[in-house]
Structure 1
Amino acid sequence: MHQLKHDEITRQIIGCAMKVHSTLGNGFQEKIYQRALELEMASAGLVFEREMDMPIYYMNQQIGERRVDFFVEGLVMVELKAIILLEDVHLAQAINYLEAYNMEVGLLINFGSKSLTFKRLLNKKFKPN
């Protein structure tokens, strides 16, 4: 069995998200889930930054910024949604963020459907520093 990169951290994050979803259910705004997940991850002992502004570069010029929901343990980018259905465009967007920040692993978590849905993302263009 191929060992997934940062598997233990992503498992912990998903576990926290499942607790949040089973407690709150669906139907709230993204902000509510973000705050609940922040509390849940903190109580699980995960180290993270919330809503961190990250610069976006194009041809070595900073052309803007994007706020990421969470960076966990400096290794995993977490993007939250509260929508009925995750679509390819949301997946593509999250992968773009991973590439823009040169993060190797990400999670896209959706609290908006009846059961929690999530996608594990891998940046194929990742360059170790």
Structure 2
Amino acid sequence: MEKRTYQDEVDKLIEVVNYIYKQLGHGCQEHVYKEVLELELELRNIPYARKTDSSGIQNNRSEFICFDKIIVGLDTHSYLSEEQENSFMNSLKDIDSPVGLLFNFGYKNLQYIKVGGSYVFQ
């Protein structure tokens, strides 16, 4: 079996979000970043879906499932708290996702955390 780390996919997603941050900066409302991310994912032919809860209703949080396994979360807080990070990690468990990226556009510099990067995927 081929082992995958999804590093190429993670790098592409970080590149997309960095591009968005360079264009928009910080301080926009969350829905603006979400809409621009959707457009960029489509333009770059990156497969994605909006995260839904177990009842099939679209999640209020700005989360996407990219490349069928990577959760991408967006926040616009002044900093990423431990509570936000824990909530995001629980999102990974909800869909049995091996890796996730949580981006925060609310700080003067783009912040992000990568969860699950040390795993080996099969």
Consecutive unaligned residues of structure 1, counting only runs of 5 or more, are: 56-61
Greater relative contact order (CA < 8 Å, ≥ 6 in sequence): 2
SS at structure 2 position matched to 1:53: coil
1:22-81 Cα deviation digits (max 9, x unpaired): 11111111110011111112222201012x3131xxxxxx8x977262010101011110
Q: What's the C-alpha RMSD, in Å, of the aligned pairs?
A: 2.8
Partner of residue 33, structure 1: 33
Query: If each structure's strand is expressed as a fraction of its own residues, which one has the higher value?
Result: 1
Displacement after TM superposition at 1:123 (Å): 8.6
| Match status 1:122 vs 2:121 | no
2:75 is matched with which residue?
Answer: 81
Segments of 5+ residues of structure 2 without an aligned counterpart are none
8 Å contact from structure 1 (residues 99, 123) kept in 2 = no
Deviation string, structure 1 residues 67-108 (Cα, Å, up to 9, x no partner):
262010101011110111011111100101111221111110
Structure-2 residue corresponding to 1:53: 52
Q: Say whether the 8 Å CA contact 1:95–1:123 is kept in structure 2.
A: no
Q: 1:90 and 2:84 equivalent?
A: yes
- Alpha-carbon spacing, 1:19–1:123, altered in 2? closer, same or farther (3 Å): closer
* Identity value in percent: 24
Q: Which residue of 2 aligns with 1:58?
A: none
Bigger Rg, which one: 1
- Provide the TM-score with structure 1 as the length reference: 0.79
Question: CA distance change for structure 1 residues 53 and 123 in 2, over 3 Å: closer, same or farther?
Answer: farther
